[in-house]
Chain A
Amino acid sequence: MADPQMKRTPMERTEQVIVVSTLLLLVVFTVQPLLNLLALSLSDPSKVAGFSGLSIWPAGFSPDVWLLLLQHPNVQRGIFNSIWMTAASVVIGTLGTALMAWGMSRPGLPLRRLIFIFVLVTIVFEPGIIPDYFLMKQLGLLNNQWSVIMYKVVNAWYLIILVRFFEEIPGELLESAELDGANPFQIFWTIVLPLAKPALATISLFYLVFHWNEFFHPMIYLNDQSKWPLQVVLRQFVIGGDKVAIVGAQDANNNIGIAQIDIRALKAGMILITIVPILAIYPLILKFFTKGTMTGALKG
């Protein structure tokens, strides 16, 4: 094929400019609000007053906001809770999903169809938050972080994506292992899991993003602020406008320490801290999510 650049008419070049600038406008609309908050959080706290929402460059430069927030006990506890709860969910979820998907992907499995229906029912019919809440109450898990860790720990959608993946594993490979005397557990561990590494990476990333961003269930299940993940701390501070949540009553009353910092800059810093982990794994997300969504989302 001829290079398209070669035979471009002036008309086509104008069209290209319009297309690209429309998309770049979307890029600006997407990224500018985040860059603005980043700039605000990195500004010199004394110069923050009247900082424009359009600016993406810090007014002066100071890491004070970040340092103060990262040293704050509520924020530290939030980070710790988020990391350990997310990690527990991802490990339990990925393993549980893989084990269940492997069984469901075997063509001859007795009651296979029934198990599929059993799973699909949970997607189609969700009785709502009150029955969920009462279940936690009966299990004695209210105000216990395991109520949040176990919420959708095996996600029906991800389960089905993984079943579809396992179905593609060639049968000969498994049969020859069986003839060699390997039992199903050994086959799963030594053949299936290594083959499924990309799929498992995708699923665990799905889980990672899902659980890191979860705020609703920790918000309704966990009463103790010391058990809150970062999202709930952020919500209390920024959405709820509860300055004391971060600043602390004593500092707020006396207007000392962190209370002296502009509240807008603190909020901006808090938002950014919450999305740092997502940004850190974003290259991986782009690599695995894109493929996973393109192949798994719309299976006939």
Chain B
Amino acid sequence: MAQTEAGSSAYAGNVPADSRWTRFATGFRRWWPYYAMMAPGLIFFVIWHYVPIWEAKMAFEQVRIIPPNLWVGLKNFQTLFASPVFYTVLLNTLIISAMKMAFVFPLPIIVALLLNEVRSGPLRQFIQSAIYLPHFLSWVVIAAVFIAFLSPTDGAVNQVTGLFGIPPVSFMTNTGWIRWVLVLSENWRSAGWDSLLYLAAIIAIDPALYDAAELDGANRWQKIRDITIPGIVPTIATLFILNMGLFMSAGLDQVINLQNAVNSSTIDIIDTYVYRIGLTTGEYSLATAAGLFKAVLGMALVLISHFVSKRLTGKGLW
């Protein structure tokens, strides 16, 4: 539009034949089929991802049964920040995320280092096929498996501890243990599969380094310490920073399936709080406000971690 107006202005006579309008026209002729092919995807993103962003304005409104909603500014956020429950779920989210950083994040690194020491093809393949499996199961299934696994009457864990005379523990209904259930089940799901990223980094290490170390008489442990670990430190750093970006998401799918009336006080996180007050109690505005608070904080963390990682290790989320 703007181009045609410029073309018909007083200077029209001085404009070369290849005006902006003709450039646009030739560009259009060349590229419209690609835009036609992208159209379904683009329309999908607009409706399914951008309309909800617009909908999030509900956080600043009071939802009324008969539209339109009433604009209330920051009132919902004031209610949210004045509510003690909000601080409980915020604290739970931070604690659970921190526990996962400390007790879930390192395991795949160890698994990758161990796997790298297994040279025999079939044995290694067998181990890998077994430990990757849980990554492909839903949290409904994993939670169901763990409820059976941790059962105080006949679960495997209590049967084993029972052999040592330890009285059975009802892990699923114990507010002290339930966070460790989150850590354990997350490890069950991802310790194997996540090691793949580190294995990829190990494979990329120059084999000549190992040959040289062998000539110098280095033993296995020295090779791990001086070659393998330094070789994967960039990957560890990248994944650690990127994981920090997900700190506000302590795992909705996991918690919602392992949560019950008894244990929920210590594992109720922001996401489950939003779900509960929004879709169960119907406090839409307050729930949207809590969700938006998390989304904005989460976005800031993800962006910071992405750019920090890009700066320090050269690799980011995309």
Contact = CB atoms under 8 A, between A and B. Distances in A.
Interface of A: 1, 4, 12, 15-16, 19-20, 22-24, 26-27, 29-34, 36-37, 50-54, 96-97, 99-100, 102-104, 106, 108-110, 115, 118-135, 139, 150-154, 156, 159-160, 183-185, 188, 209, 212-216, 220, 231-232, 234-235, 238-239, 264, 267-268, 270-271, 274-275, 278, 282, 285-286, 290, 293-294, 297-300
A52 B317 CA distance: 45
A124 B279 contact: no
Contact of B42 (A100, A132, A209, A235): A100
Given A123-B317, A298-B238, A150 B127 contact: no
Interface in B247-306: 252-253, 256-257, 271, 274-275, 278-279, 284, 287-288, 291-292, 294-296, 298-299, 302-303
B225 interface: no
B145 A33 contact: yes
Given A99-B37, A131-B288, A293 B197 contact: yes
Contacts of B119: 4
Contacts of B274: 128-130
Given A29-B188, A99-B41, A37 B145 contact: yes
B11 interface: no
Given A122-B49, A131-B56, A215 B138 contact: yes
A239 B130 contact: no
A35 to B, nearest CB: 10
A4 B214 CA distance: 11
A179 B288 CA distance: 54
A152 to B, nearest CB: 8
A135 B33 CA distance: 30
B66 interface: no
For chain B, which range describes its interface: under 10, 10 to 19, 20 to 34, or 35 or more residues? 35 or more
B99 interface: no
Contact of A51 (B31, B126, B154): B154
Given A130-B287, A300-B314, A33 B56 contact: no
17 contacts: A16-B117, A37-B145, A102-B37, A115-B42, A130-B291, A132-B52, A153-B48, A154-B44, A185-B37, A239-B140, A264-B148, A267-B148, A271-B141, A274-B141, A285-B136, A286-B132, A293-B200
Given A128-B274, A129-B291, A278-B136, A53 B155 contact: yes
Contact of B275 (A31, A129, A293): A129
A106 B132 CA distance: 35
B114 A34 contact: no
Given A12-B220, A216-B252, A271-B141, A53 B156 contact: yes
B252 A278 contact: no
A30 B188 contact: yes
Nearest to B290: A128
Contact of B140 (A30, A34, A235): A235
A34 B145 contact: yes
A238 B144 contact: yes
Contacts of A125: 53, 295-296, 299
Given A53-B149, A53-B155, A131 B291 contact: yes
A213 B197 CA distance: 23
User: Which of B118, B238, B288 has the most C-beta atoms of chain A within 10 angstroms of its own C-beta?
Assistant: B288
A30 B156 contact: no
Contacts of B34: 102-103, 106, 109, 184
A267 B34 CA distance: 50
A269 to B, nearest CB: 11
B148 A268 contact: yes
Nearest to B126: A27
B143 interface: yes
A36 B38 CA distance: 48
Given A99-B41, A127-B53, A239-B147, 6 more contacts: A19-B117, A33-B188, A54-B159, A109-B34, A238-B140, A239-B144
A275 B140 CA distance: 11
B279 A130 contact: yes
B101 interface: no
B44 A36 contact: no
A294 B141 contact: no
A183 B33 CA distance: 8
Nearest to A34: B145
Contacts of B235: 298
Interface string B307-318: 000000011111
A33 B41 contact: no
B166 interface: no
A223 to B, nearest CB: 12
Contacts of A300: 314-316
Interface in B162-200: 188, 191-192, 196-197, 199-200
Nearest to A152: B48
Nearest to B302: A124
Contact of B278 (A54, A121, A133, A150): A133
A36 B156 contact: yes
B72 interface: no
B62 interface: no
Contact of B137 (A96, A110, A188, A278): A278
A110 B190 CA distance: 41
B216 interface: no
Given A27-B127, A216-B253, A33 B156 contact: yes
B51 A22 contact: no
Contacts of B275: 129, 220
A220 B274 CA distance: 13
Contact of A100 (B37, B145, B314): B37
Nearest to A159: B41
